[in-house]
Amino acid sequence: MKSLPPSNLKTRTAFLFPGSGSQYPGMGRELYRRVPAVRAALDALPPQSSHGLRDIMFYGPESKLFPPVDSPTPSLFFEATVALSLSVAAALRASGARPDCAAGRSVGEFAAFAFAGAVAPGFCFRAIREFSRLGQRNCLERPSVLLTVYGAGRSDLQKACAALARGGRVCELVNFYSRLNAGVAGMDAALAAPFRALLPKRARVKACREVGAFHTSLFADTASSVAGLAAAETFNRPSCGLYCASDARRAAAPSRLRSRFARAVDGPVLWEETLRAMLRDGVRTFVELAPGAMLTEFICDLPPGAEVLRTDTPENYAATLARLVKE
Protein backbone atom coordinates (compact mmCIF):
# COMPACT_ATOMS: atom_id res chain seq x y z
CA MET A 1 0.00 0.00 0.00
CA LYS A 2 1.32 3.43 -0.89
CA SER A 3 1.64 6.16 1.72
CA LEU A 4 -1.29 8.47 2.35
CA PRO A 5 -1.23 11.94 0.83
CA PRO A 6 -0.65 14.84 3.20
CA SER A 7 -3.84 15.81 5.01
CA ASN A 8 -3.77 19.32 3.54
CA LEU A 9 -3.61 18.10 -0.06
CA LYS A 10 -6.85 18.06 -2.06
CA THR A 11 -6.81 14.93 -4.21
CA ARG A 12 -9.31 13.56 -6.67
CA THR A 13 -11.23 10.48 -5.58
CA ALA A 14 -12.56 7.62 -7.72
CA PHE A 15 -15.15 5.00 -6.80
CA LEU A 16 -14.29 1.66 -8.41
CA PHE A 17 -17.10 -0.84 -8.98
CA PRO A 18 -16.07 -4.53 -9.16
CA GLY A 19 -17.10 -6.99 -11.81
CA SER A 20 -17.08 -10.73 -12.19
CA GLY A 21 -14.78 -12.77 -10.01
CA SER A 22 -15.55 -10.79 -6.84
CA GLN A 23 -18.56 -12.80 -5.71
CA TYR A 24 -18.79 -15.28 -2.85
CA PRO A 25 -21.67 -16.63 -0.74
CA GLY A 26 -22.17 -14.49 2.35
CA MET A 27 -20.77 -11.32 0.81
CA GLY A 28 -22.10 -8.16 2.40
CA ARG A 29 -23.72 -9.94 5.33
CA GLU A 30 -21.55 -8.31 7.99
CA LEU A 31 -21.80 -4.92 6.30
CA TYR A 32 -25.59 -5.28 6.36
CA ARG A 33 -25.59 -6.31 9.99
CA ARG A 34 -23.18 -3.67 11.33
CA VAL A 35 -23.42 -0.64 8.98
CA PRO A 36 -26.89 0.99 9.10
CA ALA A 37 -26.37 3.02 5.92
CA VAL A 38 -25.49 -0.10 3.92
CA ARG A 39 -28.47 -1.90 5.43
CA ALA A 40 -30.80 0.92 4.40
CA ALA A 41 -29.47 0.88 0.83
CA LEU A 42 -29.78 -2.89 0.47
CA ASP A 43 -33.30 -2.77 1.89
CA ALA A 44 -34.20 -0.20 -0.79
CA LEU A 45 -33.08 -2.12 -3.90
CA PRO A 46 -35.30 -1.22 -6.88
CA PRO A 47 -38.20 -3.54 -7.74
CA GLN A 48 -36.43 -4.50 -10.98
CA SER A 49 -33.89 -6.51 -8.93
CA SER A 50 -34.48 -10.24 -8.54
CA HIS A 51 -36.82 -11.41 -5.80
CA GLY A 52 -34.91 -12.55 -2.71
CA LEU A 53 -31.59 -11.29 -4.08
CA ARG A 54 -30.34 -10.00 -0.74
CA ASP A 55 -31.01 -13.27 1.12
CA ILE A 56 -29.41 -15.34 -1.64
CA MET A 57 -26.38 -13.05 -1.49
CA PHE A 58 -26.09 -13.59 2.26
CA TYR A 59 -27.08 -17.21 2.69
CA GLY A 60 -26.98 -18.92 -0.69
CA PRO A 61 -27.33 -21.57 -1.77
CA GLU A 62 -24.28 -21.24 -3.95
CA SER A 63 -26.19 -22.93 -6.78
CA LYS A 64 -28.34 -19.77 -7.02
CA LEU A 65 -25.27 -17.58 -7.51
CA PHE A 66 -23.47 -20.00 -9.81
CA PRO A 67 -26.01 -22.35 -11.44
CA PRO A 68 -24.89 -24.70 -14.22
CA VAL A 69 -25.19 -23.35 -17.72
CA ASP A 70 -28.18 -25.59 -18.45
CA SER A 71 -30.11 -24.31 -15.45
CA PRO A 72 -33.52 -22.75 -16.22
CA THR A 73 -32.70 -20.08 -13.63
CA PRO A 74 -30.20 -17.39 -14.71
CA SER A 75 -27.14 -16.84 -12.56
CA LEU A 76 -27.42 -14.12 -9.92
CA PHE A 77 -23.75 -13.48 -9.27
CA PHE A 78 -23.53 -10.46 -11.59
CA GLU A 79 -26.65 -8.94 -10.08
CA ALA A 80 -25.54 -9.63 -6.50
CA THR A 81 -22.22 -7.88 -7.10
CA VAL A 82 -23.93 -4.84 -8.61
CA ALA A 83 -26.45 -4.70 -5.74
CA LEU A 84 -23.80 -4.77 -3.05
CA SER A 85 -21.37 -2.33 -4.68
CA LEU A 86 -24.15 0.16 -5.46
CA SER A 87 -25.46 -0.10 -1.89
CA VAL A 88 -22.02 0.51 -0.38
CA ALA A 89 -21.46 3.47 -2.73
CA ALA A 90 -24.89 4.89 -1.85
CA ALA A 91 -24.15 4.49 1.86
CA LEU A 92 -20.84 6.34 1.53
CA ARG A 93 -22.51 9.15 -0.42
CA ALA A 94 -25.36 9.42 2.10
CA SER A 95 -22.74 9.75 4.82
CA GLY A 96 -20.99 12.66 3.09
CA ALA A 97 -18.47 11.07 0.70
CA ARG A 98 -18.40 12.75 -2.70
CA PRO A 99 -16.21 11.08 -5.35
CA ASP A 100 -14.95 13.04 -8.33
CA CYS A 101 -15.35 10.14 -10.72
CA ALA A 102 -16.35 6.50 -11.06
CA ALA A 103 -15.50 3.47 -13.17
CA GLY A 104 -16.54 -0.16 -13.27
CA ARG A 105 -14.59 -3.25 -14.20
CA SER A 106 -16.52 -5.68 -16.39
CA VAL A 107 -20.22 -5.65 -15.44
CA GLY A 108 -19.33 -3.21 -12.66
CA GLU A 109 -19.62 -0.64 -15.43
CA PHE A 110 -23.41 -0.97 -15.20
CA ALA A 111 -23.18 -0.07 -11.51
CA ALA A 112 -20.90 2.90 -12.23
CA PHE A 113 -23.42 4.23 -14.77
CA ALA A 114 -26.23 3.94 -12.22
CA PHE A 115 -24.25 5.50 -9.37
CA ALA A 116 -23.29 8.49 -11.53
CA GLY A 117 -26.93 9.00 -12.54
CA ALA A 118 -26.28 8.23 -16.20
CA VAL A 119 -29.07 5.63 -16.02
CA ALA A 120 -31.74 4.85 -13.46
CA PRO A 121 -30.84 2.10 -10.93
CA GLY A 122 -33.90 0.14 -11.99
CA PHE A 123 -32.68 0.04 -15.59
CA CYS A 124 -29.25 -1.08 -14.41
CA PHE A 125 -30.86 -4.16 -12.83
CA ARG A 126 -33.04 -4.78 -15.89
CA ALA A 127 -29.94 -4.77 -18.08
CA ILE A 128 -28.02 -7.08 -15.75
CA ARG A 129 -30.88 -9.56 -15.65
CA GLU A 130 -31.21 -9.52 -19.44
CA PHE A 131 -27.47 -9.99 -19.80
CA SER A 132 -27.50 -12.98 -17.43
CA ARG A 133 -30.53 -14.59 -19.07
CA LEU A 134 -29.38 -14.20 -22.67
CA GLY A 135 -25.75 -14.92 -21.84
CA GLN A 136 -26.71 -18.25 -20.34
CA ARG A 137 -28.70 -19.13 -23.44
CA ASN A 138 -25.79 -17.96 -25.56
CA CYS A 139 -23.49 -20.43 -23.79
CA LEU A 140 -25.90 -23.31 -24.33
CA GLU A 141 -26.09 -22.61 -28.06
CA ARG A 142 -22.33 -22.10 -28.48
CA PRO A 143 -20.21 -23.24 -25.49
CA SER A 144 -17.39 -20.86 -24.63
CA VAL A 145 -14.91 -20.23 -21.83
CA LEU A 146 -12.80 -17.55 -20.22
CA LEU A 147 -9.28 -18.56 -19.23
CA THR A 148 -7.01 -16.61 -16.88
CA VAL A 149 -3.34 -16.99 -17.76
CA TYR A 150 -0.49 -16.24 -15.36
CA GLY A 151 3.15 -16.00 -16.40
CA ALA A 152 2.70 -15.37 -20.12
CA GLY A 153 3.30 -12.00 -21.74
CA ARG A 154 0.77 -9.97 -23.68
CA SER A 155 2.44 -10.92 -26.96
CA ASP A 156 2.26 -14.63 -26.02
CA LEU A 157 -1.50 -14.37 -25.51
CA GLN A 158 -2.02 -12.29 -28.64
CA LYS A 159 -0.09 -14.82 -30.76
CA ALA A 160 -2.05 -17.76 -29.34
CA CYS A 161 -5.35 -15.97 -30.00
CA ALA A 162 -4.35 -15.04 -33.54
CA ALA A 163 -3.27 -18.61 -34.32
CA LEU A 164 -6.64 -20.05 -33.29
CA ALA A 165 -9.06 -17.34 -34.45
CA ARG A 166 -9.57 -18.68 -37.95
CA GLY A 167 -12.35 -20.27 -39.94
CA GLY A 168 -15.10 -18.65 -37.88
CA ARG A 169 -13.57 -19.69 -34.57
CA VAL A 170 -13.29 -17.04 -31.85
CA CYS A 171 -10.31 -16.58 -29.54
CA GLU A 172 -9.79 -13.05 -28.19
CA LEU A 173 -7.75 -11.31 -25.52
CA VAL A 174 -10.13 -9.76 -22.98
CA ASN A 175 -7.65 -7.95 -20.75
CA PHE A 176 -4.04 -7.92 -19.64
CA TYR A 177 -2.31 -6.64 -16.51
CA SER A 178 1.31 -5.80 -17.26
CA ARG A 179 2.54 -5.60 -13.68
CA LEU A 180 0.96 -8.95 -12.76
CA ASN A 181 1.97 -10.50 -16.10
CA ALA A 182 -1.52 -12.00 -16.26
CA GLY A 183 -4.40 -11.82 -18.71
CA VAL A 184 -7.77 -13.27 -19.63
CA ALA A 185 -8.73 -14.74 -22.99
CA GLY A 186 -12.20 -15.78 -24.18
CA MET A 187 -12.81 -18.45 -26.79
CA ASP A 188 -14.96 -21.23 -28.15
CA ALA A 189 -14.81 -24.04 -25.59
CA ALA A 190 -13.23 -26.43 -28.10
CA LEU A 191 -10.19 -24.12 -28.36
CA ALA A 192 -9.25 -24.30 -24.66
CA ALA A 193 -6.85 -27.22 -25.00
CA PRO A 194 -5.14 -25.95 -28.20
CA PHE A 195 -4.83 -22.51 -26.57
CA ARG A 196 -3.05 -23.95 -23.54
CA ALA A 197 -0.71 -25.89 -25.82
CA LEU A 198 0.40 -22.70 -27.59
CA LEU A 199 1.44 -20.92 -24.39
CA PRO A 200 4.94 -20.95 -22.89
CA LYS A 201 5.59 -23.85 -20.53
CA ARG A 202 5.96 -21.42 -17.62
CA ALA A 203 2.36 -20.22 -18.00
CA ARG A 204 -0.34 -21.31 -15.57
CA VAL A 205 -3.93 -21.42 -16.81
CA LYS A 206 -7.10 -21.35 -14.74
CA ALA A 207 -10.65 -21.56 -16.07
CA CYS A 208 -12.81 -18.69 -14.85
CA ARG A 209 -15.88 -19.57 -12.85
CA GLU A 210 -18.11 -17.42 -14.98
CA VAL A 211 -20.09 -19.22 -17.65
CA GLY A 212 -19.13 -18.17 -21.14
CA ALA A 213 -16.71 -15.87 -22.93
CA PHE A 214 -18.43 -12.56 -22.38
CA HIS A 215 -16.29 -9.55 -23.30
CA THR A 216 -15.71 -11.20 -26.68
CA SER A 217 -17.55 -11.20 -30.00
CA LEU A 218 -19.15 -14.51 -28.94
CA PHE A 219 -21.53 -12.37 -26.88
CA ALA A 220 -22.34 -9.92 -29.68
CA ASP A 221 -25.98 -11.06 -29.86
CA THR A 222 -26.40 -10.61 -26.11
CA ALA A 223 -24.78 -7.17 -26.30
CA SER A 224 -27.13 -6.26 -29.17
CA SER A 225 -30.14 -7.10 -26.99
CA VAL A 226 -28.78 -4.99 -24.12
CA ALA A 227 -28.14 -2.17 -26.62
CA GLY A 228 -31.78 -2.47 -27.70
CA LEU A 229 -32.87 -1.90 -24.11
CA ALA A 230 -30.51 1.07 -23.86
CA ALA A 231 -31.94 2.60 -27.05
CA ALA A 232 -35.31 3.00 -25.33
CA GLU A 233 -33.84 4.29 -22.05
CA THR A 234 -33.10 7.87 -21.03
CA PHE A 235 -29.40 8.53 -20.51
CA ASN A 236 -28.24 11.57 -18.54
CA ARG A 237 -25.04 13.51 -18.12
CA PRO A 238 -23.28 11.90 -15.13
CA SER A 239 -23.08 13.70 -11.80
CA CYS A 240 -19.38 12.85 -11.57
CA GLY A 241 -16.70 11.87 -14.07
CA LEU A 242 -17.48 8.51 -15.64
CA TYR A 243 -14.83 6.34 -17.29
CA CYS A 244 -15.74 3.48 -19.64
CA ALA A 245 -13.43 0.48 -19.32
CA SER A 246 -14.15 -0.77 -22.84
CA ASP A 247 -12.10 2.12 -24.26
CA ALA A 248 -10.44 3.60 -21.12
CA ARG A 249 -11.91 7.02 -21.83
CA ARG A 250 -14.06 9.44 -19.90
CA ALA A 251 -17.55 10.02 -21.30
CA ALA A 252 -20.24 12.57 -20.47
CA ALA A 253 -22.52 13.05 -23.48
CA PRO A 254 -25.69 10.93 -23.13
CA SER A 255 -25.41 9.73 -26.74
CA ARG A 256 -21.88 8.47 -26.15
CA LEU A 257 -22.83 6.84 -22.86
CA ARG A 258 -25.68 5.00 -24.56
CA SER A 259 -23.32 3.69 -27.24
CA ARG A 260 -20.80 2.48 -24.64
CA PHE A 261 -23.27 0.87 -22.24
CA ALA A 262 -23.65 -2.50 -23.98
CA ARG A 263 -19.90 -2.73 -24.57
CA ALA A 264 -19.65 -3.97 -20.99
CA VAL A 265 -21.05 -7.23 -22.42
CA ASP A 266 -18.90 -7.93 -25.50
CA GLY A 267 -16.12 -5.33 -25.35
CA PRO A 268 -12.64 -5.78 -23.87
CA VAL A 269 -11.90 -4.77 -20.28
CA LEU A 270 -9.14 -2.17 -20.47
CA TRP A 271 -8.93 -1.86 -16.72
CA GLU A 272 -5.22 -1.16 -16.41
CA GLU A 273 -5.57 1.51 -19.09
CA THR A 274 -8.61 2.99 -17.29
CA LEU A 275 -6.70 3.26 -14.02
CA ARG A 276 -3.83 4.95 -15.83
CA ALA A 277 -6.25 7.42 -17.44
CA MET A 278 -7.60 8.34 -14.01
CA LEU A 279 -4.08 8.77 -12.66
CA ARG A 280 -3.27 11.12 -15.54
CA ASP A 281 -6.40 13.10 -14.67
CA GLY A 282 -5.24 13.58 -11.09
CA VAL A 283 -7.00 10.78 -9.20
CA ARG A 284 -4.98 9.79 -6.15
CA THR A 285 -7.60 8.14 -3.93
CA PHE A 286 -9.13 4.90 -5.23
CA VAL A 287 -12.09 3.50 -3.30
CA GLU A 288 -12.64 -0.18 -4.05
CA LEU A 289 -16.27 -0.97 -3.38
CA ALA A 290 -17.39 -4.26 -1.84
CA PRO A 291 -17.61 -7.20 -2.26
CA GLY A 292 -13.93 -7.75 -2.99
CA ALA A 293 -10.52 -6.19 -3.37
CA MET A 294 -9.69 -5.18 -6.93
CA LEU A 295 -5.90 -5.11 -6.43
CA THR A 296 -5.53 -1.61 -7.81
CA GLU A 297 -2.05 -1.13 -6.37
CA PHE A 298 -0.88 -4.43 -7.88
CA ILE A 299 -2.24 -3.61 -11.35
CA CYS A 300 -0.75 -0.12 -11.60
CA ASP A 301 2.39 1.51 -10.31
CA LEU A 302 0.80 4.16 -8.13
CA PRO A 303 2.67 7.45 -7.71
CA PRO A 304 3.79 8.71 -4.31
CA GLY A 305 0.82 9.97 -2.34
CA ALA A 306 -1.74 7.71 -3.96
CA GLU A 307 -3.90 5.47 -1.78
CA VAL A 308 -6.31 2.56 -2.11
CA LEU A 309 -9.25 2.34 0.29
CA ARG A 310 -11.45 -0.74 0.73
CA THR A 311 -14.99 -1.32 1.92
CA ASP A 312 -15.32 -5.12 2.02
CA THR A 313 -15.60 -5.37 5.84
CA PRO A 314 -17.29 -3.12 8.41
CA GLU A 315 -13.86 -2.12 9.72
CA ASN A 316 -12.56 -1.20 6.25
CA TYR A 317 -15.79 0.63 5.47
CA ALA A 318 -15.51 2.72 8.66
CA ALA A 319 -11.87 3.60 7.98
CA THR A 320 -12.66 4.55 4.37
CA LEU A 321 -15.60 6.73 5.36
CA ALA A 322 -13.49 8.51 8.00
CA ARG A 323 -10.81 9.16 5.39
CA LEU A 324 -13.24 10.45 2.76
CA VAL A 325 -15.15 12.86 4.97
CA LYS A 326 -12.03 14.14 6.71
CA GLU A 327 -11.74 17.87 6.25
pLDDT in tens, 24-74: 789 999 999 999 999 999 999 999 999 999 999 999 888 777 777 767 777
What is the tens place of the pLDDT at every residue in 65-115? 777 776 777 788 889 999 999 999 999 999 999 999 999 999 899 999 999
Q: What local confidence, expressed as pLDDT, does residue 5 receive?
A: 41
Q: What's at 262, amino acid-wise?
A: A
Q: How many domains does one find in the chain?
A: 2
| Domain range enclosing 233 | 12-140+215-324
Are both 219 and 202 inside the same structural domain? no
Lowest mean pLDDT among 119-133, 140-154, 297-311: 297-311
Question: For 237-285, how does the pLDDT look when each residue is reduced to its tens digit (9 = 90+)?
Answer: 999 999 999 999 999 999 999 999 999 999 999 999 999 999 999 999 9
**113 in the same domain as 69:** yes
Residue finishing a domain among 179, 207, 235: 207
The answer to whether residue 81 sits within a structural domain is yes
Give how far Cα 265 sits from Cα of 14, 134, 178, 217, 225, Å. 23, 11, 23, 9, 10
End-to-end CA distance of the chain: 22
The answer on 311 and 171 residing in a single domain is: no
Residues 52 and 136 placed together within one structural domain of the fold: yes
Domain boundary among 185, 207, 229: 207
CATH, residue 161: 3.30.70
CATH of the domain at 38: 3.40.366.10
264 and 150 in a common domain: no
Q: Judge whether 88 lies within some domain.
A: yes
Tens digit of each residue's pLDDT (9 = 90 or more) over 184-206: 999 999 999 999 999 999 999 99
CB 123 within 8 A of CB 169: no
Residue 244: enclosing H or E segment and its boundaries? strand 241-244
Angle CA 232–241–49, to nearest 5: 45
pTM: 0.93
**Are 235 and 119 contacting, i.e. CB atoms less than 8 angstroms apart?**
yes
Q: Are 90 and 104 in contact (CB under 8 A)?
A: no
Across 128-140, average pLDDT: 90
Got the DSSP string for 69-112?
TT-SSPP-HHHHHHHHHHHHHHHHHHTT---SEEEESTTHHHHH
- Answer yes or no: do 178 and 242 share one domain: no
User: Are 98 and 226 in a shared domain?
Assistant: yes
Same domain, 177 and 263: no
Same domain, 312 and 286: yes
Residues 167 and 119 in one domain: no
235 lies in the same domain as 199: no
Q: How many CB atoms lie within 10 A of CB 314?
A: 15
Residue 2 within a domain = no
Residues 256 and 297 in one domain: yes
Is the pLDDT at 3 greater than 60? The verdict is no
Assess if residue 6 is contained within a domain.
no
